[in-house]
Chain A
């Protein structure tokens, strides 16, 4: 047939049936560009009308208005840039946390938000907000800007550990137990948070409300400095877990037969999840759905091989959050929607749509 493309023979030979690594590679490369586009979008959208183009023109000597340039500089460098960086880190951190938990629990439903890890992290953050000035003053003085993310990390770590101990017996995680334990832990953490809210002062209440809405709106360079290194560290560690996560899908015993030091692997994974979730919750108040939707969508496209799934999840998580953040700033401008509302409003229906249309791709 005229116009039919013939693949070179070597190409066919090089790609055995069932090998989806080329799709993984292409997707990761595509997502790098998508993230770059989302970063540009994040830097150029907002209520103020500040223009990066004008700022650059000014710097190059084409600008006319010095005060406008100063204002644009303030908006872009002090407000949008930390917000964009936080968006990238939190989006990647939450998505990768979800992926790590799903791999660790061998269950596509595991997600820090669904099983109570975020609640545990939130409790840690609430404790610092309410008691940081009084009972825990030595702690906050010693850790400074890192006290909030550190406490959220501690709360997340404790929750993940308890969850794993309760739900996993003999290397197998019972899905019902895990979800129920997650609900119980979430409720418990919520109760403690409620008590703390009850005794909080008026100023603390305002801080709590502001923080708990789930937003990138308060992004500052201080927050980038406080949460950034923790999330970045967790992501860097996660990069080394791909092979182990693949092996873990065969079960803990088989993973160990394949040479994975299982106990150490689990500990590292739990700490990475708690660190990324805790630091994200500390500065953004908890943003739902990123950790479950992003890995699921990518598993449908490139398959569950974590060597590609991990970087793709980080990239798409960051892109998705920046996109939702840009929407949250413009949809009711000059006011802002909390980003958690946007991720849930997008993520919820989208997730249902995936479940309806691709049921066969879920092996459970």
Chain B
């Protein structure tokens, strides 16, 4: 369980997060949604200790401020939004960096072929010998995900769950790979690990999230099960546009239908 207890974050003198609290249990995919500048990525960066924060963040009951970088690296892996490399690494070499850093949790003999397995999971089999710098943005993002998966390959080791932090994991992917990557995240959660994902696509969120935290202007507006958060009222309050939540053909799964980008009357007046 990742538990965030009323954290505040200021960046460059501006307060970005105000008393944000949320929980992300193991075994669940927790999505963070909100408009641009609402503090989603800042929240994730605070979780990764990239930003200083006041308040407390617990990882399975332990204050992460008291843990060493190596210790944390064995318990959670982070997918960055984008990465460019200054040196000509091959795809396989990038993925293998996840092996040396984290704790994959597999037998040493299986370790050698783990990068290939990870590449297969993100639909990049046969890309091992390509140069990372020569891939498209979406392919690079999937290589990074393969690296991150290697770091925490087994979602649970000795009964201790591990976590994936994903910052807009599907932002530059086509629809097939969006679904594929969300499937990977979901199956990580199904196997007992925890996933926290910053997501922009509300329909993907509806489709995959087990729990949703909605941010607006650095504050939590709503938090809970998708049915509770993905409602007309909440979404309008969060995103400032009239959004109607409908039901997908498959019963029980909510979906989002954008109508227009015009602001609601109430907001326009304000």
Contact = CB atoms under 8 A, between A and B. Distances in A.
Interface string B92-116: 1110111011100000000011011
Contacts of A363: 84-88, 131-133
Nearest to A295: B87
Interface of A: 14, 16-20, 106-108, 243, 246-247, 249-251, 253-254, 256-262, 299, 303-305, 361-364
Contact of B91 (A18, A256, A258): A18
Contacts of A243: 100-101
Contact of B68 (A106, A108, A257, A261): A261
B59 to A, nearest CB: 13
A303 B90 contact: yes
Given A19-B128, A246-B100, A261-B68, A253 B89 contact: no
A254 B86 contact: no
Interface residues of B, number: 45
Contacts of B90: 18-20, 303
> Top 10 nearest A-B pairs by Cβ distance?
A259-B73, A18-B92, A18-B128, A304-B87, A258-B101, A363-B133, A18-B90, A18-B129, A17-B128, A17-B129
A362 B159 CA distance: 44
A171 B10 CA distance: 18
B48, B86, B94, B126 — most chain A CB neighbours (10 Å): B86
A299 B131 CA distance: 13
A253 B132 CA distance: 19
Given A18-B93, A304-B87, A362-B88, A260 B129 contact: no
B97 A251 contact: no
B128 A364 contact: no
B174 interface: no
Contacts of A257: 48, 73, 77-78, 80
Contacts of A364: 86
A363 B86 CA distance: 6
Contact of B49 (A18, A249, A256, A362): A256
Contact of A250 (B73, B85, B127, B131): B85
A361 B88 contact: yes
B42 to A, nearest CB: 13
B50 interface: yes
A364 B101 CA distance: 26
Given A304-B93, A305-B93, 14 more contacts: A17-B128, A18-B130, A19-B93, A246-B100, A250-B83, A251-B80, A254-B78, A257-B73, A259-B70, A259-B102, A299-B87, A303-B88, A303-B93, A363-B86
A165 to B, nearest CB: 18
A249, A259, A262, A362 — most chain B CB neighbours (10 Å): A259
Contacts of A106: 86
A249 B128 contact: no
Contacts of B128: 16-19
B72 interface: yes
Contacts of B127: 18
A253 B86 contact: no
A10 to B, nearest CB: 12
24 contacts: A16-B92, A16-B113, A16-B115, A16-B116, A17-B92, A18-B91, A18-B128, A19-B96, A19-B128, A107-B86, A247-B97, A249-B86, A254-B83, A257-B78, A258-B97, A259-B73, A299-B88, A303-B88, A305-B93, A361-B88, A362-B88, A363-B132, A363-B133, A364-B86
Nearest to A305: B93
A108 B88 CA distance: 10
A253 B87 contact: no
A293 B200 CA distance: 45
B246 interface: no
Contacts of A299: 87-88
B213 interface: no
A106 B86 CA distance: 6
Nearest to A248: B86
A106, A243, A257, A259 — most chain B CB neighbours (10 Å): A257
B224 interface: no
Contact of A247 (B74, B77, B91, B101): B101
B69 interface: yes
Given A16-B113, A17-B129, A258-B151, A249 B89 contact: yes
Contacts of B50: 253, 256
Interface string B240-252: 0000000000000
Given A16-B113, A246-B97, A303-B93, A260 B87 contact: no
B169 to A, nearest CB: 15
A18 B134 CA distance: 14
